[in-house]
A and B are shown apart, each in its own frame.
Chain A
Amino acid sequence: MIGDRPADSAALIAERPVEKPPAVLVKDLDFRYPDGRHALRGVDLTIMTGESIALVGPNGAGKSTLLWHLNGLLPEYAGSTAGHHGGGERVRKRSSQAAVWIDGIELNAKNAAEIRRRVGLVFQDPDDQLFSATVLDDVAFGPLNLGKSQPEARRIAIDCLARVGLADAVDRPPRHLSFGERKRVCVAGVLACDPTVLVLDEPTANLDPRARRQFISLIRSLPATKLIATHDLEMVLELCNRAILLDGGEIVANGLTRNVLGDPLLLEAHGLETPLSVKFGRV
């Protein structure tokens, strides 16, 4: 295991009260899907405020499962039905104890709402995220759910759309936007909840080069702590100071981006390919 930050330090930080808790702390996270698939095997992860971290690994490594744990969508949407009067979905009790802290707040059913506000999750397929009839309604969805008043939610939504460069798309239905534009609306919708941690699942997948370039500059311009799950290693080199390699539900490597991505044998062993700019010594 490559590591300039041994996994043990995570435990230390959790126990010792520090001035500023890590933005994301994951301790010994273990998860099995109901069909028996063992998706995460004891994952430890610490992300300090302001860091940009890449999460790389082959398909099926458990990247998305890990991301979904960060704001309590897994296991089993426990937060969404907790405290809900009868007739709700069955909440399956799992053996996994609280294993995730965001800004020092433990993720549990009680804190789920607050955690979800702090962790902004951008899905891979924008059509999964943009469900409202118009762009403005979709961006205002988060603020309205957070209890903001109508004019305030509208102001926030317009503001966030301007931040992603889509101020003129306010009244358009999502289906009339290009894929890249829809992707940016998703980011606006997440920014509108004012998250401290931004989690992006495959942000550059299916984007054409120009849209990819725009999207990368957009991500770079955002001040939040970032965790980016991706196959786009060139983007990782540009955006992330640290890279985490996940395979088979375990963290295989965790270190500076140039160390992880500069190890051809390691990358190959886990179904990845050395980025060309590393190969030709541009980085």
Chain B
Amino acid sequence: MHIPHGVLSPTTAIVTEVLGAAGLGAGLWALRGKERDRTTARMGMTGAFLFAAQMVNFQLYPLPISGHLLGGVLASVILGPWAGSVVIAAVLIVQCLLFGDGGLDALGANFINMGLIGSVVGRAIYAPLRRAIGGRRGVLLASMAAAWVTVILGATAFAIEFAASGHFQEFVPVLGWMLLVHAGIGVGEALITGGIVRFVLLSRPELLDDETTAAEAAQTPVRRHLQAAVAGLAVACAVAIFLAPFASRFDDGLEWVGQKTGLIEEKPSPIRAPIPDYEFPGVPRYATAAAGLVGTLVVFGVGMALARVFARPIEAAVKEGTPSHAT
């Protein structure tokens, strides 16, 4: 889901470009001094890979939706959060300039929705979950959960950016539609990410082990707590988002905020007959909640099934003296 040219209002475009640039700058700052390392070539190759992978369309049976990999969480799992976000930025730039996919004014917003939320927030969800579950099952299940949650958060971020572009009244219906569609896309993202991570774990596990242990060795307890806090917040947001349509005064609340901050200008138009506030059709409230629930269950169920391969034989575990692999 790439926002094209001219959808965001100038203010929103500027704000998101600045935020996106700051996020990208933070990522580049975290990677400084690594230019001559293998990381550079791996990042470029991961970018080219994501690009190629996005050419592959997956049909989401039984829904009439076909999706493709976005790759924020995947890049983050294999390269680390900041390198992952820089890779996504590069993919977005190539798509914008070479393919006309996504607007120049929306690069910042697209990077926030897919790069920062996908890779950085995704990593914050992935890391504590992976530690909690432990082992290769942890890597697989945590990356799937992160993929699912980040797509939902990205869709929400889009709805917010869109609403901030002068469409406050439409926030709830737009959010509803975005969530309904992205529940499907999110399940697809989780399944594709899970499938690829599982394949890597089965054929070259040391690649992921290296990356994750190296990243975690460098982590301070403060950062762990911070990560856990971000993860908790992200999951809470995702839950709240699906339940939000039930809060009946929510839209009025946003409108009130908009008027207070002067973002919505009430221009009474004397010429025309009053037009209803919006005609954009809303989504039945239960539909989004149901989609969220079904999506979560599907991701969880498929994740467990995929992870069965990593259930370690008891003898092997005993031999290593680590009865439970959880760390």
Partner-B contacts on A (CB < 8 A): 34-35, 77, 80-81, 84-90
How many Cβ-Cβ contacts under 8 Å join chain A to chain B?
Answer: 22
- A187 CA to B185 CA in the complex, in Å? 47
CB <8 Å contact, A35 and B206 = yes
B36 lies within 8 A of chain A by Cβ: yes
Shortest Cβ distance from residue A92 to the other chain B in the assembled complex, whole angstroms: 12
B33 touches A85 (CB 8 A): yes
Binding site secondary structure of chain A: loop
A80 to B37, alpha carbons, bound, how many Å? 7
Select B32's contact among A77, A80, A87, A89, beta carbons within 8 Å.
A87
Find residues 1-45 in chain B having any chain A CB closer than 8 Å to their own CB: 32-34, 36-39
Partner of B37, one of A34, A35, A81, A85: A81
- Which of A35, A80, A86, A90 lies in contact with B36, CB distance below 8 A? A80
Cα distance A89–B37 in the bound complex, in angstroms? 6
Taking the closest CB of chain B, its distance from the CB of A84, in whole angstroms, is: 7
- Tally of chain B residues near chain A (CB < 8 A): 9
Q: State the main secondary structure of chain B at its contact with A.
A: loop
Q: How far is the CA of A87 from the CA of B83 in the complex (A)?
A: 13
Q: Chain B 202-243, CB within 8 Å of chain A: the 1/0 string?
A: 000010000000100000000000000000000000000000
A84–B38 alpha-carbon span in the complex (Å)? 14
| B33 and A87 contacting across the interface, CB-CB below 8 Å | yes
Q: Chain A residues with Cβ under 8 A from B39's Cβ?
A: 89
Interface set, chain B 175-198, CB cutoff 8 A to A: none
Which residues between 240 and 270 of chain B lie within 8 Å of chain A, taking CB atoms?
Answer: none
- 22 CB-based A-B contacts, threshold 8 Å: A34-B206, A35-B206, A77-B38, A80-B36, A80-B37, A81-B36, A81-B37, A84-B33, A84-B36, A85-B33, A86-B33, A87-B32, A87-B33, A87-B34, A88-B33, A88-B34, A88-B36, A88-B37, A89-B37, A89-B38, A89-B39, A90-B214
Residues of A contacting B32 with CB < 8 Å?
87
